[in-house]
Amino acid sequence: MLLTGSLKSLLPQALRRIIRCNRLSISNTSGMAEGYKQANVVILHKSLADDFEKFCHANKGPLPLLYRSKPGDWKCPALSSDSDIRTDCLQYRLYEYGACTGSLKSLKEYAEQLKDMVTFYLGCSFSFEKALQNAGIPVRNVEQKCNVSMYKTAVPCYSVSAFCCNLVVTMRPIPANKLEATVLATSELEAAHGAPVHMGNPGLLGIQDLSKPDYGDPVHLHPSDIPVFWACGVTGVEAIINCRSPLAFTHSPGCMFITDLKNDDVTVRSSREVPQVHCISQDPLHYSIVSAEAAQKIKTLESLIGIDPGDRGIIHLHRQDELLKSCLSISHARSVLITTGFPTHFTYEPPEENDGPPGAFAIAAMLQALEKEVAIVTDQRAMDLNRKIMEEAVQLGILKRPIPLLSYQKESTDAALMFLCENGNCGRPKFDHLIAIERAGMAADGNYYNARKVNIKHLVDPIDELFLAAKNIPGVTTTGIGDGGNELGMGKVKDAVKKYIKNGDVIACDVEADFTIVAGVSNWGGYAIACALYILSTCEIHDRYLRKAVGFPQLSKKMVWLSALPSVTKEEKFLKTLVQHGVRSGKTASLEMEVDGLPFYNTHSLMIEKLL
């Protein structure tokens, strides 16, 4: 029997001959024939072949199709010069009506049945392990001399006819400081599953215990390692199981077919298409991916809205890349809760100002277009006003349909938890992300102040409690948008508010958000979020990561997203609606076409045009 020491340097043709003669004392092909592509194998009846090929094309991440044979053909000249699929895998599995009924070293005894069967060769992540090592990234399963860990997930693949199953992933522990290098090293190797589909907490994929893989071996993480997951060709095995075909064969997971194709046949992307990695949550730990081009566009938006037209000193409150990280987090969210409302004009009815609602509705419109659940929570006393404004927003075409309008009162010690989670269960949050835009924020003394240091607590419901409670609910993140430091979520920059903003020592909001977006006018922050979400949705690198490389790109919906963006015409009509309802400019209390004392025309209209 041959030992494993020299196998990594052997040529594929030699390795296949050794495997064919059953002379290896190994259980998987990880690390063998370094630099050459390996393949998952699925063999099924010819009557199912066309549908399985469609299934592969619909789920290219886990099932990158390298070659499809003709019925009864056990050679694959496009992949290897001298091969026989009946003998050239270390081990095979036999499936009958969806059940695994045995493991085999050879398929020759099934020669008659194979005449009516088609072989699919699918890309394998073993193919990129050498690329990781060349980039200075440790491959723990190779170091630990074991098979890679493979897990069933809760992520459904795109179904085709009888083929339906959930995604299977491989996991490789990667040092935290090597994540971006890992994505760079693998993103071009699409025939080997390409870039990761998830980085961080396995529970977000529905994986409960990393020490108990569904296939392969447990791979141990070093203290600084992050679990990184790639789409896996064993997804094809799950599809065969669920298909319940009378007879099918696959490779045994980890026992790949080794091809003659090298991994160096990749197209180098331009610098603008290079993927970047950003951490968007610590609990649970979660990273996201975006192209350098999309990230730069969003950073430009952040710069545009960061000007200080009122010369209030907000430049000192800026935190770099908060818009990008916030929008990446929102992009991953299923359900978003928005709050707005700053009753600064306490001597008027209504006391609300017109900075906040336009930005909130701009965000909501884009979330609707992205098919996310969205709701708005506001003060109980302002429910009728907001309901009327929402009805007109639908009539004006700003919103496609009305949004649930909620109010929050502290009726018990666990009221916030009950509001945010199903039956108060932290494991079942109703919302993944909370956004506050120009929402009065609680100061350190428990009061709420306008910019002139007037306490308006009697007009404000304790919605801050939802943001405080969210800190203790895993998977719920928050964003605060403001332009003066007294808005909900600005607690993250309260020291700067106290130092640089007039009356900051009194008015500074004490409640933090995970992400703090500072804008010259808060509405601009809302417009920027809508535009940034559009940019992310049209970023192919981010889209692939969001859908876990299963299904089809979502770019066909681009026109729907485009129509949801704010526009000068839409925002002009919306501001007129607010004025008609008596909602005043924040700084001047004027019922004119202005926000925060700045004219809509040639100020806000120009900002909208720049953001677009």
| DSSP state for residue 590 in the 8-state scheme | -
Alpha-carbon distance 603 to 212, whole Å? 59
The Cα 520–Cα 252 span in angstroms is 60
pLDDT value for 20: 83
Give CA torsion, residues 306, 312, 317, 320, to 10 deg. 10
Bond preceding residue 351 cis, omega within 30 of 0: no
Residue with tokens 């996310």: 372
**d(Cα 59, Cα 169) in Å, to the nearest integer?**
13
Q: What is the pLDDT of residue 28?
A: 79
Q: Kindly write down the DSSP assignment for every residue of 309-353, as one continuous string.
A: TT--SGGGG--TTHHHHHHHHHHH-SEEEEEEE----TTSSS--B
d(CA 289, CA 196): 9
Distance CA 445, CA 450 (A): 14
Pull the structure tokens for residue 292.
């350098």
Q: Which two tokens stand for residue 599?
A: 């004219």
B/e letters for 5-40, b = 16+ CB within 10 Å, e = fewer, are eebbebebeebbbebbeeebebbbbbbbbbbbbbbb
| DSSP collapsed to 3 states, 56-72 | HHHCCCCCCEEEECCCC
Q: Determine the Cα–Cα distance for residues 474 and 281; give it in Å rounded to an integer.
A: 9
What pLDDT was estimated at residue 17? 86
Give the chain's domains with CATH numbers: 10-125+244-262 (3.40.1640.10), 127-236 (3.30.2040.10), 275-611 (3.90.1640.20)
Q: Are 343 and 440 in contact (CB under 8 A)?
A: yes
The SS3 of residue 49 is helix
The pTM of the whole model exceeds 0.75:
yes
Q: How many CA atoms lie within 13 A of 387 on its CB side?
A: 9
Model pLDDT for residues 578-607, shown as the tens digit of each residue: 999 999 999 899 999 999 999 999 999 999
3-state secondary structure of 55: helix
pLDDT (0 to 100) of residue 3: 42
Query: Phi/psi at 512 (nearest 5 deg)?
Result: -90, 155
Q: What is the pLDDT of residue 555?
A: 79
Instruction: Point out the residues of the chain with pLDDT beneath 70.
Output: 1-9, 23-27, 264-272
Cα 43 to chain center, whole Å? 34
